[in-house]
């Protein structure tokens, strides 16, 4: 019979005494059996009685301690059963009860340790000291003594003690404990590093940005500690039911004794009665779900948050940083006819390396995504928030907003064209000048996450009934999103207090989940039944206010969290219904005389084991229709995504060629089309053939469906057809150059090709992520 046991920060110290008691009860049972076989029943009874008394004394002490703390558990049933066995001379039943009791506690400890493994692993990695530079040497100091600006030396195998920025040229970090990503992450000089990451490579230097208590890992550790100690409403409800169960048990045992006149029947009822499905299986199932979420980079602050995540009916989504990426990303480029878009981006990013402005960082990121080699700038002068000037490879480069660049350049048809082109709603424009002449401009915007549509659809499939978009943007911008995302309601131009009122209003239809990332979302996150913070780049205030923190910058992990939560709650309820049903059936059988005390003890422990093991099912992965062996690993998914990123510059070249060919002289136009044709045949078509001949057959074999991805293969055929058509149209141009109809046909073809390839890449990414394994 298992006891109710609360696990707190000092739970490890309680394990060894319980194992000692289990060993003692097992030894007494074995020794008594041997003496009984040696025809010494008096000695065997004495051994069994002493073993039972020792365990009973320990249990009574524990019950007294719990009562002194104001806690009342169902260990009383075990104490009554052992006491009754001693009084009635049922010594073999008593020692079996004692061993089952201590064995149940050990099984519970194992279940809780197994369920909390990922959470405990996070806490165990907290660094204590760090190597800080002092002059030309470094000294080992406590992490509490590190201040922002201190230069830290991180050795191979060490855990980063505080948040900071990389001072060396590059570093490779293992961030799996923080984000759930299995592969090491490559960082370049100046990039932000999270405390709690492990350095598996060469030593490097970093500059601290925060003190230890304010760093990422310290915040996560606090959340983990709260998650370990939090108790779910479902568990508290189980406690109330368990008290009722105690009353039923005592009443049934009294009735059995009164009607039969046999005290052993009352003892059998006490022995077989087990509240384990209520007081153990429920928390084991919920904390197993919490632990499994941690593997996916989702930190749930305890079983209560997991339970509310499972019960949510309405989702209120913030827009910026949640439904959208939250960062400016390069959308379009327009450059002078004599310059290439990649070259203009390279020059702009080379200058912007020296700026910490968010738009400058976005351009640098865009250049690095395209594999451009950036040069070191010199003679830098930055006008805060407006722009920056300097020299790159001997050329004077200026990068900034139109108001910053306009006075630095000569007036021209191209500059007037760009001034009109950049007036696009919802975008940020960056212009680039080279030696006093406008080189080109970029349009950047915060785009909707590519997985947003799939995530919303999967949320509905998981049981979410209503999806609401809450944003501080204008209503027209918000409605443009809802038009293609399938959102039930849009509330725009909101302030933080408005979001809180919206949460209260939506609660009338059922439990509300609020998802956000900014400081302005913190009040609504705290007010919701369950608040979910996008914590990878979100504000600390939202992370602290939320009940669930998604540590990776992926919205689809929200769906994973909901699915895990619903499955864990379903398993917990199964344990309660099935386990309590078996327990009550056994009690009735004991009351009617069908189970002796010894048999009842064995039946009771079997029910305990079944209930706990069923609760641990929440820790395992559900069996998908195609099985785990047929899913894509994280490494395979990341490799496929990297292939698409490496081909994005090809799609950019299709657009730039489409826009420029009508302005180019005839020889340059021919060369431009020939270069694009060669690029498509050297980079794009081999990729599509590789997918069709190698990747798709592999996926079909994994899925066990020979016709799977047939529509995607048809798109490959269309891409190849259009590339061949481009070759034919290009070769049909005579020596006089293309006529207007030929130029129109080529531009129409290129516009269509760009749209097909972009859509095809997006569709493939959704399919790949749907096949991603746990």
In SS3 terms, 392-422 reads as: ECCEEEEEECHHHHHHHCCCCHHHHHHHHHC
Cα 739 from Cα 736, distance rounded (Å)? 8
If you write DSSP's letter for every residue of 108-134 in order, what string do you get?
HHHHHHHHTHHHHHHHHT---EEEEEE
> Which secondary-structure segment (H or E) carries 125?
none
Cα 451 from Cα 437, distance rounded (Å)? 40
Instruction: Check if the beta carbon of residue 451 is closer than 8 Å to that of residue 555.
Output: yes
Of 5, 95, 85, the C-alpha closest to 51 is 95
Residue 12 DSSP SS3: helix
Cα 659 from Cα 647, distance rounded (Å)? 19
Which residues, listed in sequence order, are joined to residue 632 by a DSSP beta bridge? 772
Q: Which residue's structure tokens are 């920025």?
A: 165
What's the pLDDT at 433? 94
Of 652, 657, 651, the C-alpha closest to 743 is 657
Residues with Cβ within 8 Å of 685's Cβ and at least 6 positions away in sequence, in order, are 719, 720, 723
- Phi/psi at 385 (nearest 5 deg)? 80, -5
- Phi/psi at 326 (nearest 5 deg)? 85, 0
Q: Which of 75, 109, 150, 318 is catalytic?
A: 318
Burial 598-632 (b: 16+ CB within 10 A, else e): bbbbebbbebbbbbbebbbbbbeeeeeeeeeeebb
Cα 207 from Cα 720, distance rounded (Å)? 50
Residues with Cβ within 8 Å of 495's Cβ and at least 6 positions away in sequence, in order, are 472, 520
Q: In this structure, what token pair is assigned to residue 602?
A: 């064995």
Cα 532 from Cα 512, distance rounded (Å)? 11
Q: Furthest-apart CA pair in the chain: how many Å? A: 118
Of 430, 435, 434, the C-alpha closest to 418 is 430
Cα 190 from Cα 165, distance rounded (Å)? 5
Chunked into runs of 10 residues, the chain (774 residues) has average pLDDT values of 39 57 88 90 90 88 78 70 86 81 66 54 67 83 89 88 85 68 70 83 87 74 56 53 76 90 88 69 79 83 84 89 79 85 92 83 86 88 83 92 90 90 83 93 84 86 91 74 79 80 88 81 82 70 74 85 92 83 88 87 80 81 56 76 84 86 84 92 92 87 79 91 92 84 91 92 82 65
Q: Which residue's structure tokens are 């592999």?
A: 698
Task: Kindly report the number of other CB atoms within 10 A of residue 667's CB atom.
Answer: 9
Which residues, listed in sequence order, are joined to residue 549 by a DSSP beta bridge? 299, 533
Of 157, 164, 156, 162, the C-alpha closest to 191 is 164
Instruction: Check if the beta carbon of residue 95 is closer than 8 Å to that of residue 35.
Output: no
Cα 689 from Cα 713, distance rounded (Å)? 9
Can 318 be counted among the known catalytic residues?
yes
Give 169's DSSP letter: S
Of 743, 761, 739, the C-alpha closest to 751 is 743
Cα 548 from Cα 550, distance rounded (Å)? 7
If you write DSSP's letter for every residue of 496-552 in order, what string do you get?
HHHHHHHHHHHGGGS-EEEEE-SGGGHHHHHHSSEEEEETTT--HHHHHH-SEEE-S
Instruction: Check if the beta carbon of residue 200 is closer than 8 Å to that of residue 187.
Output: no
Of 494, 495, 460, the C-alpha closest to 477 is 494
Cα 461 from Cα 467, distance rounded (Å)? 12
Task: Kindly report the number of other CB atoms within 10 A of residue 723's CB atom.
Answer: 18
What's the pLDDT at 686? 93
């Amino acid at each position: 019979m298992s006891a109710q046991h609360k696990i707190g920060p000092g739970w490890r110290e309680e394990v060894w005494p319980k194992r000692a008691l289990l060993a003692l009860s097992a030894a007494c049972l074995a020794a008594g059996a041997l003496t009984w076989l040696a025809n010494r029943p008096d000695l065997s009874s004495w051994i069994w009685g002493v073993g039972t008394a020792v365990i009973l004394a320990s249990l009574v002490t524990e019950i007294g301690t719990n009562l002194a703390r104001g806690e009342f558990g169902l260990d009383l049933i075990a104490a009554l059963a052992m006491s009754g066995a001693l009084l009635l001379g049922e010594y073999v039943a008593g020692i079996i009860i004692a061993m089952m009791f201590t064995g149940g506690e050990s099984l519970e400890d194992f279940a809780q340790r197994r369920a909390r493994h990922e959470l405990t692993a996070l806490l165990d990695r907290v660094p204590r000291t760090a190597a800080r530079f002092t002059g030309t040497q470094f000294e080992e100091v406590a992490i509490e003594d590190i201040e922002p600006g201190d230069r830290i030396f991180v050795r191979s195998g060490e855990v980063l003690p505080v948040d900071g920025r990389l001072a060396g040229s590059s570093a490779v970090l293992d961030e799996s404990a923080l984000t759930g990503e299995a592969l090491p992450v490559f960082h370049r000089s100046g990039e932000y590093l999270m405390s709690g990451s492990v350095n598996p490579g060469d030593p490097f230097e970093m500059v601290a940005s925060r003190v230890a208590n304010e760093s990422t890992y310290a915040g996560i550790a606090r959340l983990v500690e709260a998650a370990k100690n939090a108790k779910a409403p479902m568990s508290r409800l189980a406690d109330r039911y368990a008290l009722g169960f105690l009353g039923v048990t005592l009443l049934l045992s009294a009735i059995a004794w009164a009607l039969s006149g046999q005290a052993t029947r009352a003892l059998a009822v006490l022995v077989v009665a087990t509240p384990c499905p209520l007081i153990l299986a429920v928390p084991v199932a919920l904390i197993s779900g919490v632990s499994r979420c941690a593997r996916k980079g989702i930190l749930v602050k305890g079983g209560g948050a997991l339970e509310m995540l499972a019960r949510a009916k309405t989702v209120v989504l913030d827009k910026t940083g949640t439904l959208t990426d939250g960062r400016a990303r390069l959308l379009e480029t327009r450059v002078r006819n004599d310059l290439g878009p990649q070259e203009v981006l390279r020059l702009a990013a080379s200058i912007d390396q020296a700026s910490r402005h968010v738009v400058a960082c976005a351009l640098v990121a865009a250049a690095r995504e395209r594999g451009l080699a950036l040069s070191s700038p010199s003679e830098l002068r930055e006008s805060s928030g407006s722009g920056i000037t300097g020299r790159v490879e001997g050329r004077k480069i200026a990068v900034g907003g139109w108001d910053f660049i306009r006075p630095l350049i000569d007036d021209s048809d191209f500059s007037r064209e760009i001034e009109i082109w950049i007036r696009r709603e919802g975008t940020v424009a960056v212009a680039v000048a080279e030696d006093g002449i406008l080189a080109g401009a970029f349009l950047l915007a915060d785009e909707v996450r590519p997985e947003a549509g799939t995530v919303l659809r999967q949320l509905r499939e998981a049981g979410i009934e209503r999806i609401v978009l809450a944003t501080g943007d204008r209503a027209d911008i918000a409605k443009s999103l809802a038009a293609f995302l399938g959102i039930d309601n849009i509330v725009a131009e909101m302030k933080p207090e408005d979001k809180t009122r919206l949460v209260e209003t939506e609660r009338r239809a059922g439990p509300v989940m609020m998802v956000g990332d900014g400081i302005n979302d913190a009040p609504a996150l705290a007010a919701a039944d369950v608040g979910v913070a996008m914590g990878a780049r979100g504000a600390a205030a939202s992370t602290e206010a939320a009940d669930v923190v998604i540590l990776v910058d992926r919205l689809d992990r929200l769906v994973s969290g909901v699915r895990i939560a619903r499955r864990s709650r379903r398993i917990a309820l199964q344990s309660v219904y099935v386990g309590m049903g078996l327990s009550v059936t056994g009690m009735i059988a004991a009351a009617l005389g069908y189970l002796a005390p010894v048999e009842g003890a064995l039946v009771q422990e079997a029910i305990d084991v079944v209930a706990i093991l069923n609760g641990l099912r929440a820790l395992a992965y559900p069996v998908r229709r195609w099985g785990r062996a047929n899913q894509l690993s994280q490494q395979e998914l990341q490799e496929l995504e990297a292939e698409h990123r490496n081909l994005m510059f090809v799609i950019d070249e299709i657009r730039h060629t489409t826009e420029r060919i009508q302005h180019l002289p005839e020889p340059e136009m021919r060369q431009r089309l020939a270069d694009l044709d060669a690029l498509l045949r050297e980079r794009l078509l081999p990729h599509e053939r590789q997918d069709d001949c190698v990747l798709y057959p592999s996926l079909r074999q994994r899925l066990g469906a020979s016709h799977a991805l047939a529509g995607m293969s048809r798109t490959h055929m269309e891409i190849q057809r259009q590339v061949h058509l481009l070759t034919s149209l290009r070769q049909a141009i005579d020596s006089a150059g293309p006529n207007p109809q030929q130029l129109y046909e080529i531009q129409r073809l290129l516009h269509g090709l760009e749209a097909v390839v972009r859509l095809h890449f997006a569709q493939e990414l959704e399919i790949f992520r749907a096949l991603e394994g746990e």
